[in-house]
Structure 1
Amino acid sequence: MFAGALSAWFRLKFPHLTCGSLASSGVVLAVYNLTEFDQQEVTQLVEEKLASNPKALKATFDATELKIDGDFLYFLADAAAIAFQYGNPDKLCTPMIEAKKAGDDLVNAYANYIKEYYVGGFGAEVETYNQESLKKTTLIAYFQVAPANDSIRSSKVDTRYHLDLCKNVFGEGVYPVVDATNLSKIVFTNGSQDPWRHASKQVSSPSLPSYLISCDNCGHGTDRKGCPLSPLVPEGPYFFGHKQYSLHQSNLFLNKL
């Protein structure tokens, strides 16, 4: 996400030094409320338990340090999205389906997934979610709010939550100027299962080529890292096929010098 965006920003800032740019999973469309990120699952059970016994629920997820409910719900949503973003949906779907079939507690099953995979395997740190959105606030936009339907992100994580967080951290006057940060003339590559692709360019055009790698596990940066992304396997037809597309586009740019 950040490397792809940086590639696009470098092209914008230094056009005299570049003949083109490849933005791999480049998040460059400054979407104010990025609802598309979470149009995947539903989290009603968590909200119900949070309302009845928040301390016990947070303890189940080893996340008692997240005092603000919005921060806690943000943490839970990111944990699910990351499995799809990095090409490992089975890490989440398999244990949840098995728990559902067995009649087990789905919240406990989800807590086990977070502790074993998102924290234990992926390396996420619970305490960082007290400040997780700072990188979004200080950059441009991408408030990951809940869509109206079928959202894994709680409806409590809304625009007001993000704006209040910005105000608490930075004071008055911090507001994303979304239209001022959009740019073009970049080659875009995205994985079909990457939720961030909704903030990239998805429809290709002659001057703004955009390539989508489609497969069950094609996530964030698939064109550079392979599929799945974790564990890292930079090989396979998706990786090499898109590498050829990128080289072809680079040659087109060079031929126009």
Structure 2
Amino acid sequence: MALVCNSLQKYAAFVVIVLACVCFPCAAHYRSAHRRHEARLRSGVEDQWFIQRLDHFNGADTRLWKQRYFVNDTFYRAGGPVFLMIGGEGPANPAWMQYGTWLLYAQKLGALCLLLEHRFYGKSHPTDSRQALADLAHFRTVTAAKRGLTNSKWVAFGGSYPGSLAAWFRLKYPHLVHASVATSAPVHATVNFPEYLEVVWRSLAAENPECPQIVKKASDTLVDRLKDPKTYDNITKDFRLCSTLQIQSKMDSAYLLESLAGNFMDVVQYNEDNRAFEGAVGTNITIKVLCSVMLDSSLGEPYDRYAAVARLMQKTFSQSCINTQYESYIQDMSNTSWSGPEAGGGRQWVYQTCTEFGFYQSTDSPNQPFDGFPLPYHLQQCADIYNLSSSLDGAIQQTNEEYGGYDIRTTRIVFPNGSIDPWHALGVAKDITSDLPAVFIKGTAHCANMYPARAEDLPQLGLARDRIFILLQKWLAE
């Protein structure tokens, strides 16, 4: 044990913080990763409240609610555009009002910057997510009238699920939003998404071809050991579980396996994009760090290195242990209180996957490094948490019919995606038309272009930011 701990010290790296670009449809993955990447930078930014309609589609319904938003008018010049950042699957993060590439664009273009929280999340509580676009439309109309911005050109920004909303906002309300930047946006809904883990394999292999092979050996070993109850005490100690491992059903083992695979999924998705900001403290674990651990034979067999990664993640994020009890997870997720343990976003987002998007990152493909959490495991959660037992196929078809999927048809949307980011498999990686361009950034991960530039950035990332700015300049002149 001492050898392992001492060996891991050399893998510490940079500071972690992610603002709002989050997309974690797998339940266990959401639970761990979203908490790791929730920034706390709120200095100097005040909550503001917009009186919103509860039901935009029923004129007889006069009920109202308060929707949270934030404002940065530092760069605004009379006649300039309005930038609207769309909140997503977690509390709206006011740090976006102080940091991010969009503020550089705002400074150059004299834009007013607004951030609107999604009605499902944070302090905004109505719960019909398909009305989120109508919320944006009403907010835009009323705010424009109050601030004298009716004739201004509005540009929507979003990353991950909010990136999808940014694209769909332009699609559904072209008279209200002039252009959109839809970063790392999964625009095609699908029940089963095994391609996510296929990209994880390729992203690990890009660092070292042996890396995903060692990960697969470790995962396979763990799957085999879970078949023998005599190994449970050792597994509990090796991975520092919060309680002695008990496997009473396939759901128990699947939840454990997904939780541990989530260490790799999370790091790959945000590789190098967890940026250091003022006042933040922590360590940035990258693909390079993970592969360094997995290829370090001094730590033992592949299984031992897999456990070492889990302990490194726990140490980095100050976790004394990890809870891998499926029953406990279901209990927390079934709590409908706004003060419940998963009310910050976990319960809401998984519900959206069960009713709108799917996106289940299953192990159903042979071309990926993990095993043990196939599609039925993900679908069973819809029944266990929300008592939803019907097929998702109809809901997925409805989503793609509503928004167009890959066949979106409108103008003035740019789709930035990173080649390392597993979500690019459901995004737009090639130009649809000259007015619906893709910006595919080789070697970068989820939402990389949204973060402030730094000296270590790949040249192609800087070029991508520049291209987006040039497109905005062109479109705002039209």
Per the alignment, in what secondary structure is the counterpart of residue 186 of structure 2? coil
> Which has a greater percent of helix?
1
Tell me the amino acid that sits aligned with residue 224 of structure 1: M
Deviation of residue 240 (structure 1)?
A: 2.4
| Structure 2 residue 321 is the aligned partner of structure 1 residue 105 | no
| Residue 151, structure 1, aligned to residue 364, structure 2 | no
Deviation at residue 96 of structure 1 after TM alignment: 0.7
Residue 116 in structure 1 maps to residue 116 in structure 2:
no
Following superposition, the deviation at residue 3 of structure 1 comes to: 3.4
Structure 2 CA distance for partners of 1:193 and 1:236, relative to 1, 3 Å? closer
Match of 2:169 among 3, 6, 10: 10
Q: 2:425 aligns with which of 198, 203, 217?
A: 198
Q: Pick one of 73, 77, 82 that aligns with 2:257.
A: 73
User: Which residue of the other structure, out of 387, 406, 409, is the alignment partner of 1:171?
Assistant: 387
Give the equivalent residue in structure 1 for 2:399.
Answer: 181
TM (normalized to structure 1)? 0.82
CA distance change for structure 1 residues 127 and 224 in 2, over 3 Å: closer, same or farther?
same
Q: CA deviation at 1:199?
A: 1.6
Give 1:36 deviation, angstroms: 0.9
Higher strand proportion: 2
Q: Check conservation: 2:269, 2:445, Cα contact below 8 A.
A: yes
Q: Against the structure 1 CA distance between its residues 243 and 167, is the aligned structure 2 distance closer, same or farther, given a 3 Å change threshold?
A: same
Q: Which residue of 1 aligns with 2:234?
A: 56
In 2, the alpha carbon distance for the partners of 1:16 and 1:2 equals: 22
Q: Deviations over 1:155-202 (max 9, x none)?
A: x31121111111011113454322222332442111111111112112
1:31 corresponds, among 190, 197, 207, to 190
The one-letter code of the counterpart of 2:368 is S
CA contact (8 A) 1:225 1:234 kept: no
Q: Deviations over 1:89-143 (max 9, x none)?
A: 11110111112xx4812222112212213x3335789449835686244242111
**Could you tell me whether the CA contact under 8 Å between 1:146 and 1:158 is conserved in 2?**
yes
> Is the 8 Å Cα contact of residues 189 and 359 (structure 2) preserved in structure 1?
yes
Query: CA, structure 1 residues 110+198, in 2 after alignment: closer, same or farther (shift >3 Å)?
Result: same
Does the aligned pair in 1 maintain the 2:163–2:185 contact within 8 Å? yes
Which amino acid letter does the alignment assign opposite residue 152 of structure 1?
Answer: P
Letter of the 1:114 counterpart: A
C-alpha contact (below 8 Å) 2:191/2:360 kept by paired residues:
yes
Match of 2:269 among 78, 85, 96: 85
TM-score in terms of structure 2 length: 0.46
Residue 20 of structure 1 is matched in structure 2 by 179
Match of 1:138 in 2: 352
Distance 1:236 1:172, change over 3 A: closer
Q: 1:45 aligns with which of 202, 221, 232?
A: 221
- How far the C-alpha of 1:4 sits from its partner, in A, is 2.0
Write the distance in 2 (CA, Å) between the matches of 1:14 and 1:63: 49
Q: Distance in 2 between matches of 1:204 and 1:78?
A: 31
How many residues align? The count is 246
Partner amino acid, structure 2, of 1:238: Q
Structure with higher Rg: it is 2
Superposition RMSD in Å? 2.9
Say which structure, 1 or 2, has more relative contact order (CA 8 Å, 6+ apart). Answer: 1
- Residue 147 of structure 1 and its aligned partner are, at CA, apart by 3.5
Contact 2:239 2:311 in 1 (8 A): yes
Deviation (angstroms), 1:49: 1.6
- The answer to whether the Cα contact below 8 Å between 2:351 and 2:386 also exists between their aligned partners in 1 is no
Contact kept, 8 Å, 2:188 with 2:427, in 1: the verdict is: yes
